[in-house]
Structure 1
Amino acid sequence: MSRYPLDRVRNIGIIAHIDAGKTTTTERILYYTGRIHRMGEVHEGTATMDHMVQEQERGITITSAATTTFWLDHQINIIDTPGHIDFTAEVQRSLRVLDGGVVVFDAVAGVEPQSETVWRQADEYRVPRICFVNKMDRVGADFVRTINMIRDRLNARPVPIQWPIGSESNFRGIVDLLTMEAFVWEEDDLGAAPKLVDIPEEVREDVAAARQVIMEAIVETDDELMMRYLEE
């Protein structure tokens, strides 16, 4: 039985096209929330969520796998779903019980065919979503292009709440657009803690513009806020 009341329990699904990094992302969530003490790797067959022998051998998720972690006085039930088109029905089954979803996108490939499929399914079940742009350190990674693809191909209105510092081999951190704090990683070791730094000069203009988009998106939800925003 859960030690948390229902209003502090969240069922969150990790959904994406195959190889976007769903299971790897889940593994990091479990590590940084203290659920596991060593990060497994999909390509090594040691990922916590890939428990079937076939998954470990092929390096893909075949069935939805669930686990639980805890963060800020909330119980988070995480469901890692398959990304391969052959297992779409498994994703659809999971969507029915979700409070929200994390849609993982490959920063190089952007929106892929199965991304569109699971997005439509999430629309059908009215699942709220946040997007996570993964693999920003890969050759060809482009955060802005990925955001534009989400807007154009998924008919969504993405509002970034973080902004990357660098890309490809120069990717080294992010700016939190809500707190306006910058975090960089100075070590390549798995599990390394980020360092709080001043917002780098090279991204300040982009960060200011992105924060303005957040402000406008927020005030559109409330007439009183809109009036105050326009008056200022």
Structure 2
Amino acid sequence: MSITGLQVILILNKVAEVLEKNKLYLSELDAAIGDGDHGINMNKGFNAVVTKLKYDDGLDIGVILKKTGMALVSNVGGAAGPLYGTAFMKAAAAINGKTDIDVKDYIKILEAALGGVMMRGKAQRGEKTMIDAIAPAIVAMKEAEDAGKKPLEVLKASKDAAMQGVEYTKTIIATKGRASYLGERSIGHQDAGATSSYLILNTVYEEVKNINESKV
């Protein structure tokens, strides 16, 4: 099962819709331990992505992801702009020139994105960031792939693991960003960045599932 460039654009448009629906929720999560603007910023950024991709021909998925990253860097405020922007630009480099992608490519995309986030944010797992959703998602995907699971089952494993990662962020102390100023008081609050990462991974799963079902 593979996804074309035009389908990638449709998925990114759907991500924009999901983030718009969740912008207040994400900002409320962020307000508890951060600046309180994560949802508004992500909404603004992905609206810019939709505009940037409006006339893209879908022939190079690397170009699509690079345009996405550039739009996010230019339009998302706070730490999320450079982090998500770098994630998409590193992902773009990993699959440059490809006209369609499969599950193996998706794992490469997420690995490159994670590497970009860790480099840019100088962070690792267990520090109450978006990494706590993305890293376990990759591990779960690889395990599902190695076990011979079908592509949709591999994608489901990624979003389920990301959700568990979001839950995990409630139990740990924030050591990065503004939330780190709260120290132990950050325990009990879930990280907004991990939550937006989960929403993106879940949207990818749901949309690929819809694409797959429409072929049957």
Same fold, TM-score > 0.5, yes or no: no
- Name the structure with the higher helix share: 2
| TM-score, normalising length: structure 2 | 0.30
Which is strand-richer, 1 or 2? Answer: 1
Q: Which has the higher contact order (CA 8 A, sep 6+)?
A: 2
TM-score (norm 1): 0.28
